[in-house]
Amino acid sequence: MIADLQCVVLDCPEPVELAAFYQSLLGGTVNRPDRRWALSDAWATLHPASGVVLAFQRAAAYRPPRWPDPAGPQQFHLDFAVADLDRTEEQVLARGATVLDAGTDGRSWRIYADPAGHPFCLVRH
């Protein structure tokens, strides 16, 4: 091993708003002081209990991914383990997510987009 994962950074138009969206899913603290980076209007962080830090960086000309269109690739996605797909879907939609793939074929995951258009999956564990 030559490195440790410091955080996952998502480009977006509104960093604090997107941090609040993910806080509503994962809990944690938005913009907790951290010696590793300075907070600003262009940068926000989320420190959830899991320890994996998510960071949100303002991109002036941000264009959301268009899953699954390869002309606008997804760039990355996050998977979240959940016990109840139906209940969790209601919760993420109420917080501003949109359905990309409802998984009507009985599989154990569904695909959504956060308010800035980044895909994420809910996966039944």
Neighbours of 61 (CB within 10 A): 6
Q: What per-residue confidence (pLDDT) applies to 99?
A: 97
Cα separation, 77 vs 92, in Å, equals 15
Q: Which residue, among 93, 97, 77, 89, has the nearest Cα to 124 in the 3D structure?
A: 89
- Indicate if 78-124 has the same CATH topology as 8-58: no
109-113, strands of its sheet edge to edge: 78-82, 119-124, 109-113, 98-101
What digits encode the pLDDT tens for the residues 102-122? 988 888 889 999 999 999 999
Cα separation, 21 vs 58, in Å, equals 15
| pLDDT above 60: residue 70 | yes
Q: What per-residue confidence (pLDDT) applies to 2?
A: 56
Give 8-58's CATH code, choosing from 3.40.1010.10, 3.20.20.10, 3.30.720.120, 1.10.150.20.
Answer: 3.30.720.120
CATH of domain 78-124: 3.10.180.10
Q: Tell me the CA end-to-end span of the chain in Å, nearest whole number.
A: 29
What digits encode the pLDDT tens for the residues 32-63? 988 877 788 899 999 999 998 999 999 988 98
Q: Where are the domains of the chain?
A: 8-58, 78-124
**DSSP states along 34-92:** -TT---BTTEEEEE-TTS--EEEEE-TT-----TT-TTS-----EEEEES-HHHHHHHH
| pLDDT above 80: residue 4 | no
